[in-house]
Structure 1
Amino acid sequence: MSVLAGAAVAGLAACQPADGLNSASIAVTTDRVGTSALERNGVDVQWLSCTAGIDRGRAGASSPSASARRVAEVDCTGKTGGGKDITLTGRVTQELGGRCVRGDLSAKEGDRSVFRANVLGNCDATSTTGVVNPPPPAGGSGARPTVTVTVTVTEGFRGK
């Protein structure tokens, strides 16, 4: 991950709302763990870009009660190395420190269904929020790939 993208993710953690959902961090995490899940399922991901909006369709509603579960609608689009369309869409109810998202998500490559999952990523792993760039492997050149993440933040009216 580039230093800029890592700093953006680290900065987003400081703005995390009290109810635990942040549309920007959900979009970034879904992009990262979704790309990994697609690749594990044999999809040659050229690029993937995700957007997330919390409580879409509830813009005119009053603030959710303490017992109401907030939901982020996630919409990811991309291309394979062979030029096929990729989609990853669904609802996210929890994002854990850049490690995983929980909800109801499904992915397609062209017309082929790749997976449907309620968890993407490793929720049991230690948090990666503070790690911008891990050290290079021993004996390696130190070169790291650059990852560019596009994040579109859309949040519904909270009634305040």
Structure 2
Amino acid sequence: MEFNELKHKVSSLIEKQDVNQDEKLRLICELLKAEVSHYDWVGFYFQNEDKKELILKAFAGEPTDHTIIPFSKGICGQVAVSNENFLVDDVKAQNNYIACSINVKSEIVIPLFVNNQNIGQIDIDSHTAKAFDKEDETFLEWINSEIAKKLF
């Protein structure tokens, strides 16, 4: 499915009146995993600023032991500190990578900003090397922007 088509579906989920914020995030994760062939695990982590850690709030894919990630640890923890997108073509080449599954080959993490503050991120793993490109990055930035405007 093309990203433009998916934008309409994501917008519809965000606008749903009969589900809470957590459920909307979970539904977005499930939609992305189901509709984008190279998205094998999709999750939203949110910051617990007091403890300098990320907490997994919603996901679709295989369960993970990494429900709490300290700032600076792994790709997600690095994005919590850098406030910048992080595309990884080959997770084995990263010395600060936290392995969620032996099948993961590449990862993309995009921070979610509310009022110019990084409050969380969308994290996507793929079982395909070099799975992500600028189109994925732009699409995921759009999703986070819509979530920030309409859910927070």
TM-score, normalisation: structure 2: 0.29
Between Structure 1 and Structure 2, the one with more helix by share is 2
Between Structure 1 and Structure 2, the one with more strand by share is 1
| Larger Rg, first or second structure (1 or 2) | 1
